Structure 1
Amino acid sequence: MTEQPTMTTDADQAAFELALSRILGNPEHSQRQQITDKLASEPWADVAVFAAASEQIDALNLKPWQAPPSHIDDPEAVIALGTSHPDYKAAKLLQRMLAHGVSKFHPEPLLAIEAVKLGRGRR
């Protein structure tokens, strides 16, 4: 279950807008109608968090039981539970994202990290 972020940064806002634009701007996107319907009945921020997580799941090719980085609130606490924890990989990725200044909501986490490393990243 994704919780609404209590405080967002400019990078988070940009990540939300990117996730929504990727879905809404692609007439063939499988979730386009779902996001359109959600925007008509739910707060924008809630839909944006949902869209970001959905895009992360797709970008990272996650299985249904695997959490995207945007679902992790405290990566250090999850990592401390060990590699057998189901959210360990998401927590490690989130830790890398944050270390590179990438929003936890970025729809393409691995590409965003690489872009930052190459000095041309949109965080």
Structure 2
Amino acid sequence: MSSVKLTLVVAVALIDTDNRILLAQRPEGKQLAGLWEFPGGKLEPGERPEEALIRELREELGIAVKEPCLAPLTFVSHAYETFHLLMPLYICRRWEGFVQPLEGQALKWVKAQEMRGYPMPPADEPLIPFLVDLLGS
């Protein structure tokens, strides 16, 4: 049996009052640059997924999220060439502060059914139907 490097990444669908979801574009110089994805990131050693998400949202977007406002929706298990990605997706409708692109990324609020018009990493695409089911049109 070959050993596969398992990478745990946590992501969130931030949902605004108009039922739009925030997508962030991966900046130049990053792997998969130019693709649109849900905000989030890798866990640091000893971090719980919710803690990692709260930290990432503060670092990337400048917003404060409380743990009870994070609801797990679904997850993705995706085999990339060099590693296997496991990514829980949370939804969040409540945060403090204004969403800002603190890491040079482009941001866009989009309706669930419009997400297919944005090129996404292969691991993010399977999440779209869950959000369409949740939010409808």
TM-score in terms of structure 2 length: 0.28
Where is the strand percentage greater, Structure 1 or Structure 2?
2
Larger RCO (alpha carbons 8 Å, 6+ apart): 2
Where is the helix percentage greater, Structure 1 or Structure 2?
1
TM-score in terms of structure 1 length: 0.30
